[in-house]
A and B are shown apart, each in its own frame.
Chain A
Amino acid sequence: GAVVSQHPSRVICKSGTSVKIECRSLDFQATTMFWYRQFPKQSLMLMATSNEGSKATYEQGVEKDKFLINHASLTLSTLTVTSAHPEDSSFYICSARAGHPGSPEETQYFGPGTRLLVL
């Protein structure tokens, strides 16, 4: 199956600093990537939809100025957590869509995730 990578896999930072997380589709082009957040023992919650060459679409309650998303190419999307605080500590997972949109073959492939700990 398709491969999606994320970097870094883990990051510990001080409160107030910014952290950038990269999501790459390694063997396919992804016009759309998605960013999720998962708190311990909870489900994945979609944060935003990232479309190549256009602004990201954020879900209700997600601050776009705090979680900056850049989808500069068909294989790379980045999520920057600005001025991170301890409550931002979570597991951030990206996914990239493969297959024709709306088709039965459409599938999302998930990256391995990034564990963020803000002290």
Chain B
Amino acid sequence: GQQVMQIPQYQHVQEGEDFTTYCNSSTTLSNIQWYKQRPGGHPVFLIQLVKSGEVKKQKRLTFQFGEAKKNSSLHITATQTTDVGTYFCARRDGRNFGNEKLTFGTGTRLTIIP
């Protein structure tokens, strides 16, 4: 399947500032997942969105799924140094046993200036 595009590719923010990354698809998504990968680490699952217009919060993180289910965003309020890493969205393809797979977005690398 087509790769999911993310913007921006890089983001440098002062500690305490907000951060947002956007995930866009040319086709309708059945779901969208978000992962965080720390430098030198592996992706860690954050959340999955399934419903049109869905908004979910995890402390300072707010995840949103677009009404048309073609885009999604991750917003971090008041960034901290622990938020450093690359944030990936990923769509899960297939609903039948054995053919599900994740297609990862291009990622947004967040760096924090203390």
Contact = CB atoms under 8 A, between A and B. Distances in A.
Interface string B32-67: 000000000111110010100000000000000000
B96 interface: yes
Report the 9 A-B pairs with minimum CB-CB distance, sorted nearest first.
A102-B95, A101-B97, A110-B42, A44-B104, A43-B104, A113-B42, A110-B43, A43-B107, A112-B42
Given A111-B42, A113-B42, A44 B98 contact: no
A110 B44 contact: yes
Nearest to A108: B102
Interface string A77-119: 0000000000000000101010001101011111111000000
Contacts of B50: 104
A106 B100 contact: yes
Given A102-B95, A104-B50, A44 B101 contact: no
A25 interface: no
Nearest to B9: A41
B103 interface: yes
A75 interface: no
Interface of B: 3, 41-45, 48, 50, 88, 92, 94-107, 109
B106 A43 contact: yes
B22 to A, nearest CB: 15
Given A44-B43, A93-B42, A102-B95, A49 B88 contact: no
A45 B106 CA distance: 10
Contact of A43 (B3, B41, B92, B99): B3
Nearest to B6: A43
Given A32-B98, A44-B104, A46-B102, A104 B48 contact: yes
Interface in A13-62: 32, 34, 41-46, 49, 51, 57
B104 A102 contact: no
Most A CB contacts (10 A, CB to CB) among B3, B95, B98, B105 go to B98
B98 A107 contact: no
A102 B41 contact: no
